[in-house]
Structure 1
Amino acid sequence: MSRRPDRKKPKRLWLKIPLILIGVLVLGIGAYAFSIYNNAAKTVDDEMHAPIDSIDRDVAKKKVNATEPLNILLLGVDAREGDSGRSDAVMVLSLDPTTDSMQLVSIPRDTRTTIVGEGFEDKINHAFAFGGADMSVATVENFLDIELDYYVQMNMEGLDELVDELGTITVDNEIAWNDGSYDFQEGPTEMDGDKTMAFVRMRKQDPDGDFGRTDRQRKVIQGIIDRGASFGSVTKINSTIDILGNNMETNMDFDDMKKLLNSYADTRKNFVSYQMTGNGTYIDEIYYLIVDDKEVEKVHGMVSGI
């Protein structure tokens, strides 16, 4: 019998943050990042590139070369020393160059589903704890009955370092609160790395709970994309790549990323996001989100039909 991971609720919850990777590195910074800095190719291929068995690399490359629609699994991982971590953000990013559209579907981390390779039902984010990105890909593919072409895994421990390297980001904060360390006022809010972490972590003081936190994380993502794409950040690309190299894994290689930049950049023009819904329940005193078949079929149609 496989050993089940600790059920303690992670201290850090992440739903939207992995979009930073695609937005800033793959689609946000721009093609000049790869042509100007020789360090990028070495960092991507030597430090970030991590193929997995559950994705056929040759098939994915053929689709990119033919500029076909792609599905990318984004995993935001809260991994600390001595802990394999859980993917507390699980999202499917669909890129359709034929319509210049991008679609981001969030799968709640507590969603109960079959863990492929283990044979029992558990929270979908536990697939990463059992078998890393490989098992996460297989589990999401089985859950939605889709094919994934790439995955991107980001360790959230590096988020504050990334923001600090870019300088600061500015977001439009919709509610005021104080967490004992920072005073967040309504309106435009400038944040460094530590303040950004406090901004995306807060949940209990938000009347919308997880939905409010998700909205704040989306604002942070946009702020990072805007800052990363600005002219003033060009000289920081090299160090930004190094930070991502220490905190990211993906089955994309440098050549894949260049082709995404050249052929899929315009998919940002039409961006749509969706969060799967369900009903919360307790099974053996453990909280799960039960997503019904109708909702799964809806998302299957959204992702497979892009």
Structure 2
Amino acid sequence: MGRHNKKMNKKKKWLVWILSILGVLIIGIGGYAFYLYQSVEKAVSSMHTPIEREKSEKRTEQIDFGKKHPFSVLLLGVDEREGDRGRSDTLIVLTINPHVNSIKMLSIPRDTRTEIIGKGTQDKINHAYAFGGVEMTINTVENFLDIPIDYFVEVNMESFKDIVNAVGGVTVNNPFAFTFEGHTFKKGTIKLNGEEALAYSRMRKEDPRGDFGRQDRQRQIIQAVIKQGASLSTITKVDDILGVLGNNVQTNLTFNQMLEIQKNYKSTAGNLEQLQLTGSGTKIGGIYYFFVPKEELTKLSSQLKQHLSGS
């Protein structure tokens, strides 16, 4: 899968940065600025979800955004169904270093086999959320990559349909035609409503790249939502958009921290590198797992550790 590694173009880098830190949610167009500031602050307050630990055990000191310390964020896309706590079907680790003005982004396949910290078993990494929520997921990802996870942003994937509808639909470029959950998606440029976007982002079994292909479609939807939401044509829908985000996004970042990130780290947006885990899939007891060789994991861990260093 390493051949798929590539740097995103400048526009896409900026869109991913907006998603990753939730720190530049259109604060200001003329006299509308103060109203938006208050609305964003209210929405972020409802998103704020502290976790028990103050900092990662892999950290010797607290992150200080004023001093521009490098930090990491775990993005979780949780697919919650009725009567089911859900699993973190999307796991993306971002490391942000303002000293070298760059972001590294690593997607972890949901079927990756690893130790579930706090459970004492080997299992699919996305099962950590079902067993112990955000905190068990953070601990498991920290152990898997051997790096600190400082902050998290959790998005309820079911909310995608509400977010997409709130911005008036999204347009994506579909690489191949397929049918899923009663929806047919043609190859090429297509416009999707909320229900269609959710189905588009969930399909993986018909994709020759499996979970990697699904991750790409999820990123497509997220980037299209932000692009559409940032356009002038949707400025009157800000309340609807913020309402959906406030009800479906959770993070341990505070509003003030987001403002500090936007102020002190925005220069990193121009240099985002997407990393990719390589490995192979096999079945154990009839269950599919994705295995990452130790040498591959060590290599990626070293890259991320270096990026999280102070220089």
2:243 maps to 242
Return 143-152 or 230-239, whichever deviates more. 230-239
Q: Does structure 1 residue 53 correspond to structure 2 residue 52?
A: yes
* 3-state SS in 2 of match to 1:303: helix
Q: Distance in 2 between matches of 1:156 and 1:20?
A: 17
State the TM-score, normalizing by the size of structure 2. Answer: 0.83
1:231/1:263 CA distance change after superposition, 3 Å: farther
Structure 1 residue 139: deviation in Å?
0.9
Q: Does structure 1 residue 220 correspond to structure 2 residue 221?
A: yes
Note if contact 2:68-2:98 (Cα within 8 Å) is conserved in structure 1.
Answer: yes
1:214/1:280 CA distance change after superposition, 3 Å: same
1:55/1:85 CA distance change after superposition, 3 Å: farther
Return 175-184 or 129-138, whichever deviates more. 175-184
Structure 1 residue 295: deviation in Å?
1.4
Measured against aligned partners, the alpha-carbon deviations of 1:69-119 in whole angstroms (never above 9, x if no partner) come to 210011111123332211111110122222332221011111111111122
The residue type paired with residue 230 of structure 1 is S
Q: Distance in 2 between matches of 1:300 and 1:24?
A: 20
* 3-state SS in 1 of match to 2:111: coil
Quote the RMSD (CA, aligned, Å).
2.6
Q: Distance in 2 between matches of 1:251 and 1:276?
A: 27
* 3-state SS in 2 of match to 1:71: strand
* 3-state SS in 2 of match to 1:304: helix
Note if contact 2:153-2:251 (Cα within 8 Å) is conserved in structure 1.
Answer: yes
2:25 maps to 29
Measured against aligned partners, the alpha-carbon deviations of 1:194-241 in whole angstroms (never above 9, x if no partner) come to 221222223344333333333222222221221122222333222212
Structure 1 residue 284: deviation in Å?
2.9
Q: Does structure 1 residue 73 correspond to structure 2 residue 83?
A: no
1:112 maps to 113
1:267 maps to 268
1:204/1:125 CA distance change after superposition, 3 Å: closer
Structure 1 residue 27: deviation in Å?
4.7
1:6 maps to none
1:16 maps to none
Note if contact 2:109-2:212 (Cα within 8 Å) is conserved in structure 1.
Answer: no
Note if contact 1:103-1:273 (Cα within 8 Å) is conserved in structure 2.
Answer: yes
The residue type paired with residue 88 of structure 1 is D
1:286 maps to 287
The residue type paired with residue 23 of structure 1 is L
Return 249-258 or 32-41, whichever deviates more. 32-41
2:7 maps to none
Gaps of 5+ in 1: 1-18
1:183/1:135 CA distance change after superposition, 3 Å: closer
The residue type paired with residue 43 of structure 1 is A
* 3-state SS in 2 of match to 1:41: helix
* 3-state SS in 2 of match to 1:305: helix
Q: How does 1:94-113 map to 2 (within 5 A)?
A: 94-113=95-114
* 3-state SS in 1 of match to 2:172: strand
2:232 maps to 231
State the TM-score, normalizing by the size of structure 1. Answer: 0.84
1:120/1:182 CA distance change after superposition, 3 Å: closer
Note if contact 2:172-2:189 (Cα within 8 Å) is conserved in structure 1.
Answer: yes
For these two proteins, the number of residue pairs brought into alignment is: 287
1:138/1:211 CA distance change after superposition, 3 Å: closer
